Every structure is written in C-alpha cells, then in structure tokens.
Amino acid sequence: MNKRKAEFIRFIVIGGINTLNYYAIYMVVHHLWKVSYGVSHVVAFTLSMVASFFLNSYFTFHVKPTWRKFFQFPLTQVVNFTVTTICIYLLVEQFGMSTSLAPLFAIFIAVPATFIVTSKILKQGHSAV
C-alpha cells in the first residue's frame, strides 16, 4: 500500500475517534447543559480540534507536533468548520433533521477536503516522530 493511501486510512481511523470525541462533547453541551445546537457545535468542534492535532501529528502523519503547527492547525479546520456548519444548518433548518443527527452527516461531507489541507500543514517542514 502506498504511503498516501496508508495516511488516508489512518486519517479516517483518527477521524472516527475524533468524531466520537466531538459528538460526546456536543451531546453533553447540547442536551445535558441545554445549550443551543450552534453553540454546542462550536464548543465541541474547538475542543476536539486540539485532540485532532495531536492524534494526526503522531499517528496519521508521524510528524513531531510543534507550536508553529499547533497554531497553523486551525487553518486546516477552516474548511471542515465551514462545511460542517453550513451542512448542520441546512440539515436542521431546511430539511428538518434532528439536531442530534445533523452533525454526524455533516462530518462525512467534509472529510476529503480536510485530509488534503491537514496533510499539507502537518507535513510542511516535518520531522519524524
């Protein structure tokens, strides 16, 4: 298997772990704390992004995390955040989907673009772990 394909598979696995992390935070904030779905999405997205940075650095791309990459990493998530936020809004407001299910559908739409951007940022001037 070529290196890029192996990275993509690891990215999907880490993405699955990160999705569970995101969704658990989202559900607690939205349903237990009774916060709106929009704010819950932002809180869960932000917290899970930190975990995603470290998991993708170490396990997906085998690069050493640095402060520079840490501060650049949110740029990789601009695509993800924009696509998921628009999708969640449309799925809930236009299609009547449950606020509990909409985030799960939105994540799958954003994955391919997020992989490309994440790979470019984390592998830029990389040193192996």
| Consecutive 10-residue averages of pLDDT for the chain (129 residues) | 90 92 96 96 94 95 94 87 92 96 88 85 74
| pTM listed for this prediction | 0.72
Q: In which domain, by residue range, is 45 found? A: 3-123
Would you say residue 129 lies in a domain?
no
77 located within any domain: yes
Is 102 part of any domain?
yes
CB < 8 Å & 24+ apart, contacts of 75-83: 75/117, 75/121, 76/114, 76/117, 76/118, 76/120, 76/121, 76/122, 77/45, 77/49, 77/52, 77/114, 78/117, 79/110, 79/113, 79/114, 79/117, 80/110, 80/113, 80/114, 81/45, 83/109, 83/110, 83/113
* Within-domain flag for 114: yes
Q: Looking at the 3D structure of the chain, how many domains does it have?
A: 1
